[in-house]
């Protein structure tokens, strides 16, 4: 009998369900009971009323319709948080503050310009330390459901590789002890002022994808130390203190897969090392690969294995809710959501 992979099963289910307009109440109840919350990343800089953005507008409207705007389940994540106060709240894509997550990839100022959120860079440190920074002013007015950020770089300055978009160190990669110290100091300042503004949620830390470049004749990585499971443990232990859970964990299966392959570690072994005994801290998972379009690739099967492992550890062993956020192209987010729910139905049996 021929083995049917998880990817093939989900692919078949997706083909049968491409025309789904809204999930049945039974499916929504099952997601809620399983502790699954579904989110997508929305770019507020894109005006969905313009004709050239029709595909994105329709797909995000379809996404909302799939989950019937169910406040128990549906969430959204925004990166252009500096535009929230100008958003058209009448659109179907809008959700209340408490159903909105903010991802701090950029730190904006009042002039509209921004700097990358890089915890080892002094500019980021000063931004987090200043209670009058624009983000804190937004936080005093809005009630974001979650705050998350990249755990960041091991160099003070990085540039983007034009070929594949990954980050490359432009300055020296710092030593582990220095990176650890800078991370902890910046994160504790962020928490201190968030607390002062009345934010009662967690701050989620996302690990990134380890890739090596040759700069000035040396092999270096922008995410040196950062993708080491022991380094992650040291960060979480330092910022959470003794028994505290103010900081949570956000994992991206694609980041885990890329890091494992570049480090020469088995991808499931690496996923296990990164999560270790920290499943209680795992609050969110990012899906950054359009699974509906790549189900025939071996990488997709590996990603399903990682997702299944993370979900089982978090949902079954811990029994607490977890957010699954789609960072896939917005114009396909509705199909990606269908594929993911089909995957969850296979895994959770509803």
Can you tell me the mean pLDDT for 48-57? 92
What share of the chain has pLDDT > 90, as a percent? 61
Give the contacts of 7 (CB within 8 A, at least 6 positions apart). Answer: 291, 295, 296, 300, 301, 304
Q: Which of 194, 341, 206, 231 is nearest to 283 (CA)?
A: 206
- Residues 62, 257: Cα–Cα separation, whole Å: 30
Average pLDDT over residues 205-217: 88
In 3D, which of 36, 10, 34, 14 has the Cα closest to residue 334? 14
pLDDT value, residue 39: 95
| SS3 call for 56 | helix
How far is 213 from 157, CA to CA, in rounded Å?
15
Residues with Cβ within 8 Å of residue 176, at least 6 apart in sequence? 225, 231
Residues sharing a CB contact under 8 Å with residue 99, sequence separation 6 or more, in sequence order: 71, 74, 75, 76, 145
* pLDDT, position 189: 96
Sequence ranges of the domains in the chain: 1-103+252-350, 107-232
Residue 187 token pair: 């994160």
Task: Give me the chain's average pLDDT, please.
Answer: 89
The pLDDT value given to residue 213: 84
Banded pLDDT at 65 (limits 50, 70, 90): very high
For residue 291, what pLDDT band results from cuts at 50, 70 and 90?
very low
- Condensed to tens digits (0 to 9), the pLDDT of residues 101-134 reads 999 999 999 888 999 999 999 999 999 999 999 9
pLDDT of residue 155: 93
pLDDT at position 128? 97
- Mean pLDDT on 38-59: 92
Residue 34 CA to residue 38 CA, distance in Å, equals 12
Q: Does residue 157 contact residue 165 with C-beta atoms inside 8 Å?
A: no
For residues 156-168, give the mean pLDDT.
82
Q: Detail the DSSP E strand segments found in the chain.
A: 36-42, 74-78, 100-103, 106-108, 114-116, 146-150, 158-160, 167-169, 203-206, 213-215, 218-220, 247-251, 282-287, 322-326
- C-beta of residue 14 within 8 angstroms of C-beta of residue 335: yes
Mean pLDDT along residues 244-248: 83
pLDDT for residue 290: 44
| Confidence (pTM) | 0.92
Distance from C-alpha of 293 to C-alpha of 11, rounded to nearest angstrom? 9
Q: What is the mean pLDDT of residues 42-57?
A: 91
Length of the chain: 350
């Amino acid at each position: 009998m021929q083995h049917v992979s998880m990817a093939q099963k989900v692919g078949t289910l997706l083909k049968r369900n491409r025309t789904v307009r809204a999930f049945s109440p039974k499916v929504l109840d099952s997601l809620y009971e399983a502790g699954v919350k579904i989110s997508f990343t929305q770019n507020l800089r894109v005006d969905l009323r313009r004709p050239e953005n029709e595909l994105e507008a329709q797909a995000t409207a379809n996404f909302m319709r799939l989950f019937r705007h169910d406040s128990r389940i549906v969430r959204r994540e925004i990166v252009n948080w500096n535009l929230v106060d100008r958003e058209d709240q009448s659109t179907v894509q809008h959700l209340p503050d408490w159903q909105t997550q903010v991802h701090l990839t950029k730190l904006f100022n009042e002039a509209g310009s921004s700097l990358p959120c890089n915890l080892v860079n002094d500019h980021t440190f000063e931004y987090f330390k200043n209670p009058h920074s624009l983000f804190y002013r937004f936080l005093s007015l809005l009630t974001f459901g979650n705050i998350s950020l990249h755990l960041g770089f091991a160099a003070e300055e990085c540039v983007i590789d034009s070929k594949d978009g990954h980050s490359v160190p432009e300055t020296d990669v710092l030593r582990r002890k220095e990176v650890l110290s800078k991370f902890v100091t910046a994160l504790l300042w962020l928490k201190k002022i968030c607390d002062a503004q009345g934010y009662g949620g967690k701050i989620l830390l996302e690990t990134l994808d380890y890739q090596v470049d040759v700069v000035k004749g040396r092999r270096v990585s922008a995410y040196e130390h950062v993708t080491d499971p022991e380094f992650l443990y040291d960060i979480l232990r330092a910022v959470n203190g003794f028994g505290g859970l103010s900081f949570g964990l956000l994992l991206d299966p694609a980041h885990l897969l890329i890091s494992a392959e570049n480090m020469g570690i088995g991808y499931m072994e690496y996923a296990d090392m990164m999560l270790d005994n920290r499943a209680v801290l795992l609050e969110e998972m990012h899906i950054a690969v359009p699974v509906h379009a790549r189900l025939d690739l071996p990488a997709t099967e590996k990603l399903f294995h990682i997702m299944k492992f993370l979900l089982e550890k978090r949902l079954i062993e811990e029994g607490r809710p977890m957010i699954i956020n789609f960072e896939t192209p917005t114009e396909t987010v509705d199909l990606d959501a269908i594929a993911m729910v089909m995957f969850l139905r296979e895994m959770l049996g509803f």
